[in-house]
C-alpha cells in the first residue's frame, strides 16, 4: 500500500514539474490537443442528428420552413436517402476542415489601442494557427486531434472561404472554388443549412461555456424547458444530460396534462350532480 502511495507521489511530482516548466504558449497548445470531444466526434454526432430528424415525419413536415437564416434546422427533405445526404455533407465539412490552412492575419485588429484581453486572445489565436497548420502540413487531421475551442476560432473563416453563400451568380471564379467542398449529390440549399446550423451549434456551445449563469442540471428550470442541440455535439457526456432534461420535461408535461384532465372530469361531475 505504501509502495502504491509512493509511486503515485512520484508520478504527481513529475507531472507537476512538467506543467510548471511549460511556457504559456506550450500550455495552451497542450490544452487544445486535449480538448474533448474532438471536432470529428462532434460532426459525426451532428450528422446522426440531421439524419434522424430527416427520417421522422415531423422533419418532412417542417422542411419547407428551412431557410438560410442561422436559426434553421437541417432536414434533407429533397433527398431520397437522407442518411447518405447527411454523410456526404459531413464528409465535405471534414474535408474542408482537414485541408484548411489558417492565414497568418487571423484575428488581427486595426487600431493602436490594445487591451490585455486582446493580447491574450492574440496569443491563443496564434497558438491555434501554429498547431492547426502544423498538423495539416504533417499529413495529420486537425478534426481528429483538436476540439471545440480551436474550431470556434477557425470555423467562421472556413465557412466564408469554403462554403460561402453567393448572392452574385456571375461570380463564377469563387463558385468554382467553392465547388471543391460542396457534395455534388446534395441540394445546395440543404448543404448550406447543414453548415449554418453546425456553426450556430458551435457558437451556442461557446456561449454556454462562457456564461456566468450556473448550468447545474439539478437546479436549472430554464434548461429544463429549452432544448439545446449543441449539448448533443459538444458535451463530454455525449448529450446524456440534455436527453435526461428532455425526458424530465416530457414527464412533467404529461403529468400536467393528466392533472388538467382530472380537474376537468371533477368539474363535470359536480355539474352533473347539480
Average pLDDT on 96-113 reads: 77
Q: Give the confidence band of 114 by pLDDT, cuts at 50, 70, 90.
A: low
**pLDDT value for 165:** 58
More confident of the two residues 256 and 264: 256
Q: How far apart, in whole angstroms, are the C-alpha atoms of residue 165 and residue 173?
A: 14
Spatial CA neighbour of 91 closest among 228, 186, 176: 186
- Averaged confidence pLDDT in the chain: 77
- How far apart are the two ends of the chain, measured CA to CA in Å? 79
More confident of the two residues 269 and 148: 148
Average pLDDT on 92-117 reads: 77
Task: Kindly tell me if the per-residue pLDDT of 262 is higher than 60.
Answer: no
Task: Kindly tell me if the per-residue pLDDT of 267 is higher than 50.
Answer: yes
pTM for the predicted model, two decimal places: 0.73
pLDDT tens digits for 15-28? Answer: 545 545 667 788 88
Distance of CA 92 to CAs 87, 103, 273, Å? 9, 21, 69
Average pLDDT on 161-182 reads: 60
> Is 160 in contact with 117 (CB distance < 8 Å)?
no
pLDDT tens digits for 38-53? Answer: 999 999 999 999 999 9
**pLDDT value for 12:** 53
Amino acid at each position: 500500500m505504501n509502495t502504491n502511495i509512493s509511486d503515485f507521489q512520484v508520478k504527481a511530482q513529475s507531472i507537476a514539474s512538467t506543467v510548471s516548466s511549460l511556457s504559456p504558449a506550450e500550455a495552451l497548445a497542450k490544452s487544445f490537443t486535449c480538448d474533448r470531444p474532438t471536432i470529428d466526434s462532434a460532426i459525426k454526432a451532428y450528422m446522426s442528428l440531421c439524419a434522424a430528424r430527416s427520417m421522422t415525419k415531423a422533419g418532412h413536415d417542417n422542411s419547407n420552413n428551412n431557410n438560410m437564416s442561422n436559426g434553421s434546422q437541417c432536414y434533407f427533405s429533397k433527398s431520397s436517402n437522407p442518411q447518405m445526404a447527411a454523410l456526404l455533407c459531413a464528409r465535405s465539412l471534414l474535408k474542408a476542415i482537414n485541408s484548411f490552412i489558417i492565414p497568418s492575419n487571423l484575428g488581427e485588429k486595426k487600431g493602436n489601442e490594445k487591451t490585455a484581453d486582446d493580447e491574450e486572445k492574440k496569443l491563443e489565436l496564434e497558438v491555434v494557427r501554429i498547431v492547426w497548420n502544423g498538423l495539416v502540413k504533417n499529413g495529420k487531421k486537425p478534426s481528429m486531434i483538436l476540439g471545440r475551442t480551436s474550431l470556434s476560432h477557425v470555423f467562421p473563416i472556413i465557412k466564408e472561404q469554403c462554403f460561402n453563400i453567393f448572392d452574385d451568380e456571375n461570380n463564377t471564379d469563387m463558385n468554382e472554388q467553392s465547388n471543391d467542398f460542396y457534395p455534388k449529390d446534395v441540394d445546395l440549399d440543404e448543404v448550406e443549412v447543414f453548415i449554418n446550423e453546425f456553426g450556430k451549434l458551435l457558437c451556442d456551445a461557446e456561449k454556454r461555456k462562457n456564461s456566468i449563469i450556473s448550468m447545474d442540471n439539478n437546479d436549472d428550470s430554464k434548461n429544463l424547458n429549452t432544448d439545446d442541440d449543441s449539448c448533443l455535439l459538444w458535451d463530454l457526456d455525449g448529450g446524456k444530460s440534455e436527453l435526461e432534461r428532455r425526458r424530465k420535461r416530457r414527464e412533467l408535461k404529461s403529468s400536467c396534462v393528466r392533472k388538467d384532465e382530472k380537474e376537468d372530469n371533477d368539474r363535470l361531475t359536480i355539474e352533473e350532480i347539480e
